[in-house]
Amino acid sequence: MTDNLEIKITKADHTRLSVTDFSQLPFGKVFTDHMFTADYEDGEWKNLQILPYGPIPMSPAIAALHYGQAIFEGMKAYRQPSGKISVFRADKNFERLNKSATRMSMPTLPKEIFMQGLEALINIDEKWVPNQEDYALYIRPVMFATDPYLGVKASESYKFALLTTPTGPYYSNALKVKIETEFTRADEGGVGFAKTAGNYARSLYPFEQAKKEGFDQLIWTDSVTHEFIEEAGTANLLFVINGKLITPSIRSTVLDGVTRDTIIKLAKQAGIEVEERRVSVSEVIEGIKNGTLTEAFAAGTAATVTHVGEIGYKGEVYKLTDPSTRHISNGIAKTLNDIRYGLVPDEFGWNWVL
């Protein structure tokens, strides 16, 4: 049992709830009234506080801006039928945050700061957790280096923050994705498995090019041969081929997605055979052509379960099955949602009900 930490609370002098249109919630643009922050200085985390959401004063020389020591996470809190709020698999996100921190030479965060900060923030902004179907409170933990110093070295000071934003699904329709064979997202020995800002930064130019060609998202391939599928950058990828659920195995170039892990566990529980292994581009394209690939979807906290509708590869666009016929992914997505929203028993103990 951990003692309660001292968290200083400064309340916003008014709430923005009444001027927020909950029927129009673009992802990540509307923030709740408060945020949680903590500072790492002199080898320890201190200054735990909840304060009104807003700008954070900082030097333009901070290390995060120049050398990219910045990591983040994504989680969601859901309104339960009882009216209570439940955070989904916060432990897993906490563990991954610290894995990312270690790889990026940043200090790890004690679990009690993460959990108690989150609980205090959600309690204070409780009314911001949406009630509508498919909506949730998206939680964005972020940590960044704050030394105002231009020498290239690991910073000695950091800020951790928790931001919260009510949101619907990140994607609204089945995706048209392009298999990327020129640019790469991650390389062996690099930082692909860490949720660090630079992974997203390097994806933006290829993503913008693909958007001009009419695609919604990229499928990244391995950096050496471009023959194997890795992930989608904003989500992991899963396929149903010959009735089996198949997904690229986790390696140093692939983010160990919490939703991916959850789906694998639910699929196994439902008696669906699951293969985590290298997935080649050719088996995906062949599978579409010969009809053995019946489903494909992206899975992530923000993305939830989003069907892949079309796949572009080397100038050809391949159309997949009608999403309404996809029984495996639709079934898993429903079970996942029902657990998150507290509509069925939480057998795996994934919900942290506050």
> Taking CB under 6 A as the rule, does residue 234 contact ligand COI?
yes
Q: Does 74 bind ligand COI (CB under 6 A)?
A: yes
CB of 74 to ligand COI, least distance (A): 2
**Is there binding between residue 302 and ligand COI (CB under 6 A)?**
yes
Rounded to an integer, what distance in angstroms lies between the CA atom of residue 239 and that of residue 62? 42
CA angle 32, 37, 39 (to 5 degrees): 165
305 to 334: interface string for ligand COI, x by CB under 6 A = ------------------------------
Find out whether 249 and 277 touch, Cβ atoms under 8 Å: yes
Question: Shortest approach of ligand COI to residue 4 CB, angstroms?
Answer: 28
Q: DSSP secondary-structure letter at 37? A: E
Q: How far is the CB of 43 from ligand COI (least distance, A)?
A: 29
164 binds ligand COI (CB under 6 A): no
117 near ligand COI, judged by CB under 6 A: no
Determine if 141 is a binding residue for ligand COI (CB under 6 A): no
Q: How far is it, in rounded angstroms, from Cα 170 to Cα 306?
A: 9
Of the pair 160, 170, the CB lying nearest ligand COI is at 170
The CB density around residue 125, as the number of other CB atoms within 10 Å, is 24
331 — phi, psi (to 5°)?
-65, -45
Q: Is 300 in the site for ligand COI (CB under 6 A)?
A: yes
Binding residues for ligand COI, rule CB under 6 A, total 7
State the nearest-atom distance from the C-beta of 57 to ligand COI, in Å: 26
170 binds ligand COI (CB under 6 A): yes
The residues near 229 (Cβ < 8 Å, ≥ 6 apart) are: 179, 219, 220, 221, 237, 248, 279, 280, 281, 284
When asked if residue 155 is in the footprint of ligand COI (CB under 6 A), the reply is: no
Burial label for 232, CB within 10 Å (0-12, 13-18, 19+), is buried
Q: From residue 305, how far is each of 61, 67, 161, 336 by CA, in Å?
A: 40, 34, 27, 9
The gap between the terminal CA atoms of the chain, to the nearest Å, is 16
Instruction: From 9-17, 108-116, 296-304, 336-344, give the range in contact with ligand COI by CB under 6 A.
Output: 296-304
258 binds ligand COI (CB under 6 A): no
Residue 301 binds ligand COI (CB under 6 A): yes
Residues that bind ligand COI (CB under 6 A): 74, 170, 234, 300-303
